[in-house]
Structure 1
Amino acid sequence: MKVFWWALASIVLLNFGCAPKADNTIHIYPEQSISHNFIGNGVQWSAYPHADTEMAEWGKLMTDEKWEMNYKRLDYMQPKLFRVLDQANWRYLVDFDKEGNPILDFNTPEIKAVEKILDYAQKNSITVMIGEWGTPFKMHDTDKGHSDKFSGAKDPKWINAIASYLDYLINTKGYSCIKYYNFVNEPNGDWASTKGDFNEWRDGVKLLVKTLRDKGLDKKISIAGPDAVTRYDNPRSTYPGLGWVEESAKQIDSIIGIYEIHDYTDHELVKSGGFREFHQKAADIAVEMNKQIIFGELGMTRNGQRNQDRVKADPFASEDSQMEVYDHSYGIYMADAIIQSMNAGFSGAAAWALDDAMHTLGDLGNKNELKRWGMWNSLGKEICNDPNDEKIRPWFFPWSLMCRYYPVGSTIVKTDSTGVEGLRLTAAVFNDGVTVAVVNNSNVPNTISLAVPTEKNMQKFIYEEGKSLVDAEGFPVPISTDINPVEIKELNVPANAFVLLTTLKY
């Protein structure tokens, strides 16, 4: 492979000259890697706890037809990563015996719903990070009187239940797609079952790893952590947000399989390029530990008066909603954030979230309190009396391309800086293929000179407000499938637009 890329680099120099800065050409350097063995980008997908079975709060609204709609859209997206979180008491923890020990049942209709996601992941070789929101009944406690059933994150009764569930999924069912376990959602948060107690979370992780080892599962699944919101500093927490990554590395690196964090980031931080600068700190820690790092949840902040005004105007949206998902702009910011993360060395990201129909505020099941963060709402007709709400939203366009055309095993490589404010790109090589994504997060159109290390013709997609090409299903369509890389020396990038170029074909 090394000989191939040195030869390819020679071709590039012959084609584009030996003085890369003389003509302000932006070069891509296939021999200079940022990260290897890219895991890939994807989404958070939950198994519709309010609508997945006859016994759910809304009944079984997620019919086979609804699942098939999701499968078809994911078939286009080709996500490489799913984050699948749940609660034991939603799925397999069905009761307690006289001694207060959990009674587990892995043959429930609720488990069958989760298996619809896992079956799809297994069939399509998608990496799954599975986990639970927190200690059962310490949050999402709709079962009154059970809050004392578990002492916390390091309660052996909960740990044993988790291990038994994973043993069923991995050994009995054969879900080899499950690679990582996410122990407690955002444990540094004051909303978490741990309330920001690092020691409680750490000790729970240690006990879980020991229990998995005892069951012979430690070679099949490892811990993803710390799952902290790194830009959030909980005053009640043992450490600040980024400190959770630092302390995980210092105290339990040997039992962390992959580093993983969250961010609902500020628009200006992304637009300025500061998003990469901040998260580079976490990526550097992972590199120092010789581990990969991913975003388990990535989105744009819902704070701000304009967004909350839009929430109030929507009778079905909860305060925990990002109404910008209906706008072209959300796709630009999410594309910009993922480009910056890949250039910082992250090996993938799961966007929050796939579908509005997955969750409600506090997961209490109130139909007028949907968490609107999705690429669509599978139950637009049934819940909101609006079939149009089931249509694909604009941000699917760039995010699906960032999933589809950055395959598992890609190498993210270094590029020259554009030198233009708000204009960024990231590139990857995969076998003899090349993909380049460019975002212009500014109000000014730009033309850049781009030297791509390939002689193959490329597909070109453009995400531009009111002009994005999509087919009848709402899937992105390239504006050209045979762009000569020589022609890319003059690449027009409209204002507030995203461009993807790739030699890969599907």
Structure 2
Amino acid sequence: MKNSLFLLVISLIFLSCQQEEDNLIYIHADQAISTDFIGNGVQWSAYPHADTENAEWGKLMTDAKWDMNFKRLDYMQPKLFRVLDQANWRYLVGFDKKENPILNFDNPEVIAVEKILDYAQKNQITVLLGEWGTPYKMHDTDHGHSDKFTGANDPKWINIIAEYLDYLINTKGYTCIKYYNLVNEPNGDWASTKGDFNEWRDGVKMLSEVLKKKGMDKSITVAGPDAVTRYDNPESTYSGMGWVEESAKQIGECIGIYEIHDYTAHDFVKSGEFKLFHKKAADIAKKENKQIIFGELGFSRNGKKNQDRAKADPYSSEDSQMEVYDFSYGINMADAAIQSMNAGFSGSAAWALDDAMHTLGDLGKKNQLKRWGMWNSLGTEICNNPDDENMRPWFYSWSLLCRYFPTGSRIVETDSTGIEGLRLTASVLKDDMTIAIVNNSDKDNIIALSVPNSKSFKKFLYIDGERRLDADDFPKAIEQNLGEKEMKELKVPANSFVLLTTYKY
């Protein structure tokens, strides 16, 4: 009888241990989803309405305003900038009697762009540079010059781009500029290409050839197709995802990095469909042995509730995402980023850093801001509201996703949580590890993580009303030394983002 009781106790202990092991979520540090991760970052354009004395609003972006941005970015430590502009805003200053472009790289407008490039160079941030579209075909401020260039495949435009890049990379020494973006969202009916794949493709081929002739093809390559993959233009030959497929088939040798956009839907992200859909694009890039990034990532502005909020704000345009003021946007953006990393993406640039960068159609109307930012640098000057310059909630989660997923990391496989709305991703670089977890549901959860080797993590928690901040209002860890025991009993509250990291700054 005693022996039978002993065996029963041993069996119960074994079953209990087995159940605990079965419930563990393993981080498989030796199984890479992607390697040489570029990192997450932001879209940060120079301020065309406010960055020089010649701008529509004058030079409202003072040194103090730039310094405010730099200080916040110093905490965020973004790894990727997408910097788009227009030739005629910066270096294309006119035409001679033969209609040849007149270029000037030494002017206040170019110097304003160089403020961003200087910061990127100093902080080793990868820059994706580009132009919104063919000059004078994008905006109503073109002053009758729309016939000066025929399109994205006009050699005259391609040649001045190459001259600008030669100046920035070879003369100025900006090694941070790695990729070039020819036409924003060229599959869109709003693009200068109007969705004409052949026009865009031929322009990319021309640009690649010119860069090669100048000996610059080792310094900078083309990013593409820059398509909105979940948008299918009825006037375009190919679907949004088709643009990625055809780029690989027709001009794969010209593409240095694959790059797409998505202004996604809440349900699409919450359900996990976001990862499944975009993995199709990541798999195309992987087959080509290339990386892929989101050049713009955000959430759709088209819902009635959002549009009603934009109309109620005297300074917002219809091209605004008013949820940037809400705690929930930080959860949703973190969820999308986690799914992108697990799909094989090498980084995402959030749209956008700052409301003050753009107005609707870039016409310079002060009551038509594109509100998508983490703050509004000109909240006082434009909106008579100094509080609008404060960091918004989603800075918290996005800054952590930038700061603690360093360039060069491996994004590694993790077990599924098996819990609806609860997802995680992990990166490894040398002996350090970061784990990002999102609970995009209304239920509190406790999970058990199994991490290779014995590591001590610090923990950040983004939850409505309970974000811990330091004296500068930057994220502050709530715990410093989580060990194996705490990792096996990790609380992930409803509607929260948790970041665990071994990195010490």
The TM-score bracket by the shorter chain reads over 0.9
> CA offsets, 1:183-208, max 9 Å, x none?
10000000000000000000000001
Q: 2:20 and 2:481 mapped to 1: Cα distance? A: 27
Q: 2:180 and 2:295 mapped to 1: Cα distance? A: 11
* Letter of the structure 1 residue corresponding to residue 305 of structure 2: R
Q: 1:359 and 1:20 mapped to 2: Cα distance? A: 55
CA contact (8 A) 1:434 1:453 kept: no
> CA offsets, 1:459-486, max 9 Å, x none?
1000000001012322000001111133
Match of 2:401 in 1: 402
Partner SS for 1:95: strand
Match of 1:199 in 2: 198
Q: 2:104 and 2:19 mapped to 1: Cα distance? A: 63
Q: 1:356 and 1:189 mapped to 2: Cα distance? A: 23
Partner SS for 1:235: coil
Partner SS for 1:418: coil
Partner SS for 2:370: coil
Q: 2:468 and 2:20 mapped to 1: Cα distance? A: 34
Match of 2:58 in 1: 59
Runs of 5+ unmatched residues, structure 2: 1-15
Q: 2:211 and 2:273 mapped to 1: Cα distance? A: 39
Match of 2:113 in 1: 114
Match of 1:314 in 2: 313
TM-score between the two structures when normalised by the length of structure 2: 0.96
> CA offsets, 1:211-267, max 9 Å, x none?
111111111000000000000000001200000000000001111000000000000
> CA offsets, 1:9-49, max 9 Å, x none?
xxxxxxxx996884311000011110000000000000000
TM-score between the two structures when normalised by the length of structure 1: 0.96
Match of 2:185 in 1: 186
2:381 aligned with 1:365 = no
**Aligned ranges for residues 367-446 of structure 1 at < 5 Å?**
367-446=366-445
CA contact (8 A) 1:434 1:502 kept: yes
2:124 aligned with 1:105 = no
How far did residue 140 of structure 1 move? 1.8
Q: 2:166 and 2:451 mapped to 1: Cα distance? A: 47
| % identity of equivalent residues | 74
2:52 aligned with 1:89 = no
Match of 2:243 in 1: 244
> CA offsets, 1:398-420, max 9 Å, x none?
10000000000000000110000
Please say which of residues 214-223 and 338-347 is displaced more in the overlay.
Answer: 214-223
Match of 2:6 in 1: none
Runs of 5+ unmatched residues, structure 1: 1-16
How far did residue 499 of structure 1 move? 0.2
* Letter of the structure 2 residue corresponding to residue 437 of structure 1: A
Partner SS for 2:22: coil
Match of 1:494 in 2: 493
> Which has the higher Rg, Structure 1 or Structure 2?
2
> CA offsets, 1:125-147, max 9 Å, x none?
00000000000001124032101
Match of 1:8 in 2: none
Partner SS for 1:33: strand
How far did residue 487 of structure 1 move? 1.6
- In structure 2, do the counterparts of structure 1 residues 18 and 242 end up closer, same or farther at CA, with 3 Å as the change threshold? farther
CA contact (8 A) 1:286 1:292 kept: yes
Match of 1:130 in 2: 129
How far did residue 454 of structure 1 move? 3.7
Q: 2:135 and 2:283 mapped to 1: Cα distance? A: 34
- In structure 2, do the counterparts of structure 1 residues 272 and 199 end up closer, same or farther at CA, with 3 Å as the change threshold? same
> CA offsets, 1:348-368, max 9 Å, x none?
000000000000000000000
Q: 1:220 and 1:44 mapped to 2: Cα distance? A: 21
Partner SS for 2:61: coil
**Aligned ranges for residues 272-311 of structure 1 at < 5 Å?**
272-311=271-310
* Letter of the structure 2 residue corresponding to residue 258 of structure 1: I
Following TM superposition, the consecutive aligned residue runs of length 4 or more in structure 1 with deviations greater than 3 angstroms are: 17-23
Q: 2:485 and 2:407 mapped to 1: Cα distance? A: 27
Partner SS for 1:247: helix
* Letter of the structure 1 residue corresponding to residue 321 of structure 2: Q
* Letter of the structure 2 residue corresponding to residue 98 of structure 1: K
Please say which of residues 447-456 and 241-250 is displaced more in the overlay.
Answer: 447-456
- In structure 2, do the counterparts of structure 1 residues 20 and 429 end up closer, same or farther at CA, with 3 Å as the change threshold? farther
> CA offsets, 1:132-190, max 9 Å, x none?
00000011240321010001111111001000000000000000000000010000000
* Letter of the structure 2 residue corresponding to residue 426 of structure 1: T
Q: 2:169 and 2:17 mapped to 1: Cα distance? A: 53
Q: 1:393 and 1:331 mapped to 2: Cα distance? A: 9
Q: 1:420 and 1:214 mapped to 2: Cα distance? A: 54
Q: 1:256 and 1:280 mapped to 2: Cα distance? A: 18
Q: 1:137 and 1:238 mapped to 2: Cα distance? A: 25
Partner SS for 2:162: helix
Q: 1:342 and 1:244 mapped to 2: Cα distance? A: 21
- In structure 2, do the counterparts of structure 1 residues 486 and 144 end up closer, same or farther at CA, with 3 Å as the change threshold? same
Q: 1:201 and 1:405 mapped to 2: Cα distance? A: 36
> CA offsets, 1:103-141, max 9 Å, x none?
000011000000000000000000000000000001124
| RMSD over equivalenced CA pairs, Å | 1.1
Match of 1:168 in 2: 167
Match of 2:234 in 1: 235
> CA offsets, 1:376-409, max 9 Å, x none?
0000000000000000000000100000000000
Count of residues in Structure 1 that have an aligned counterpart in Structure 2: 490
CA contact (8 A) 1:34 1:414 kept: yes
Partner SS for 1:218: coil
Q: 2:221 and 2:26 mapped to 1: Cα distance? A: 38
